Each structure stands twice: as structure tokens, then as C-alpha cells.
Amino acid sequence: MQNQFATLSTLYDKVRDEYTTFNNMKIETIFVDNKSLSLAQRLTNTEKFLDQIEEKFLRRQTIIQSYNNILEKLDELTKQLKSNYNEVSKQSEIEKAYEVFNLQILLIEEQYKNKIEPFEEQIQIINNEKASIIDEIRKSKMYSMYLKTTEPPVIITQGEKESLEILLNQKITNVLFDSTIDDWSLNSSVFSERVLNKSNLCVLIEDTNHNKFGGVFNGEISDIGHYHNGGESFLFSLVRNGTLNPKKFRKSNNYSFYEMCCYEQNSKVLFSFGFYDDICVYKKGIDKNFCKPCTFTAKQNELTDNDKFVTKSIIVFQLN
């Protein structure tokens, strides 16, 4: 491109000199025939006039050609500039930075997990002790009697269940976790314990805006704190703003390995679908749940009213 600019500069200097010379030419453009002169002299005068006119004409043609040369070079340069512009526009540092940011997040999580590991055994002992005490309370006669006299809330109606089974093309066999009965609080949640080593899971979430949605993970949750890839997992919307309207959302090409992750008891997060963003549910009472589809094909606000929601209930089914 530097050569093209140099060529343009040379052509411009040339046509500028030609144009200056052309304008400085002192040529009469109107011929006056002096009839008082002899015929020979009058003929000579016409020849001189035509010679001058021809000279100016030829110079004009030279200048026109020089301008055409410049315009052609400008056209070539413009095309080259447009090509370079389009090439530069295709390159996205933001996308590359986003990938590195996500890698940073993973590395930081791993780093802090390593910091926590020396204390995990002690934390587990304390949590087991706490769980044992809570379990004893729940086994008490009065506690059990209260549960027997209390109608559990209906998380999914029979009609919704039938529609969900049609959407999933699978049958619901049993309930692994029910937030109306089971503990999902920070440091005492049994959610991960209930789904560990289980496969073909359907997680149904109900929020406070009358939306019921969730995800199906067809693989096995072999450990806690890591993402798992079942291969054919998907998200779904069952009820939207109180209206039954089943929809299924399969994986996109964005971070498709990150299907589902269940977290430790001491983590504020309960579980998530997709690469941090699609559905992220926090432990009971922690109002940070969000829904930002990325790994799956759902669009923003197809599952919830906006990117944040408040969990009302969670139920995990096993499918067959």
C-alpha cells in the first residue's frame, strides 16, 4: 500500500505541473480574419492559429489522461482500503478476551478449591455432626406428626406432569429431591447427595413469577463441584407466566461440554446448567439466581421474566 501512495503522489505532482503549464499558455481562442492582408498572409495566419489550438488540445488531452490515471489508482487504493478495513473488522479481541476471562474464572475457582481442600475433612465432620442433630430433630415424634397433618404444596400438577413427559419423551419414575421437604440451605444441603451417582435427571424449578422451567441431564453425576457432559442434555420451559406452554432448548456450540454441575455444601451455589450463565440456582435464601442462556439455544426471557429470578421450589425427577 505504501507503493500505491507513492505512485499517487508522483502522478499528482505530474498533473499539477501539466495543469499549471496549460493555464499559463497565452493562446487566442478566437480567430479574426484580417481581410486587408494578402491571401497568402491570411492563410499563414490560419495555420499558426490551428497549430496553437492543436497544441492546447493535445495538452488538454494529456492532462485528462493524467487525471484518469490518478482516478484509476484512487479506485484501486479505495478497494484495497475497503478490503483491509473488512479484514480488520472481522477480528474480535472482545471474543478472545471473553474466552480468557472465563478461563481465569475456572483457574480462580480451582485455585481457591485447592486452598479449601486442607479444611474439607474438618468441615465435613462438622457438617455431618450438624446434619445428625437436625436429623434427630426431624425424627422426633412431634415433628413427624406435624408433617403428617400438613398438606405438602403441589409443585407440579398432573396435567403439567403429563405435558412434561410428552416433551421429554420419557417417563418420570421417582423423586430424588423436593425442596419443600429436603434441605437445600448453605452448609447443610442434601441436594448434591441425592443426585450423586444418579443419571437421567430432570430438574424442575418454579419461580415467584409463575414460571416453571429447568433442565434435563442425561449423563451421570459422578462427582461434585465439576461440570459433567451427558451429550444430549437440554433446557425446557414448562409453564410461562402461569400458562402451560412446553418448549425444549437443545445445546448450541458455545461451551457445549458444560452441561450440569452440582456444588458442595459449603458453596453458595446449589447447581447450574450451562457455562455459568444459562441457569444458576443458589442455596436457599441467597437471592442471586440468574438465567442467561449461552450454552443452550433458549433466548433471553424465554425461561424467566428477566436474567434474575427468585426460586420458589425445586424438584428433581429421575427419568426412564
Kindly compute the dihedral angle of the four CA atoms of residues 244, 250, 251, 253, in this order, to the nearest 10 degrees: -110
261 — phi, psi (to 5°)? -140, 135
pLDDT band of residue 118 (cuts 50, 70, 90) is confident
| pLDDT exceeds 70 at position 91 | no
Q: What is the distance between the alpha carbons of residues 187 and 177, in angstroms, rounded to a whole number? A: 17
On whether the CB atoms of residues 233 and 216 are closer than 8 A, the answer is yes
Tens digits of residue pLDDT in 8-62 = 777 777 777 777 776 776 666 688 889 999 999 999 989 888 888 888 888 888 8
Task: State how far the alpha carbon of 34 is from the alpha carbons of 28, 31, 45, 46, in Å.
Answer: 15, 9, 9, 10
Task: State how far the alpha carbon of 150 is from the alpha carbons of 77, 138, 155, 177, 181, in Å.
Answer: 81, 14, 15, 19, 11
Strand partners, 215: 203, 235
As given in the structure block, the three cell numbers for residue 278 are 444459562
Q: What is the distance between the alpha carbons of residues 159 and 73, in angstroms, rounded to a whole number? A: 73
Query: Can you say how many angstroms the Cα of residue 82 is from the centroid of all Cα atoms in its chain?
Result: 27
pLDDT band of residue 290 (cuts 50, 70, 90) is very high
Tens digits of residue pLDDT in 208-220 = 999 999 999 999 9
Q: What is the distance between the alpha carbons of residues 186 and 281, in angstroms, rounded to a whole number? A: 12
On whether the CB atoms of residues 308 and 280 are closer than 8 A, the answer is no
On whether the CB atoms of residues 235 and 278 are closer than 8 A, the answer is yes
pTM: 0.55
Residue of 177, 180, 200, 203 whose CA lies nearest to 190:
177
| pLDDT exceeds 60 at position 152 | no
As given in the structure block, the three cell numbers for residue 230 are 451427558
On whether the CB atoms of residues 201 and 318 are closer than 8 A, the answer is yes
| pLDDT exceeds 70 at position 182 | yes
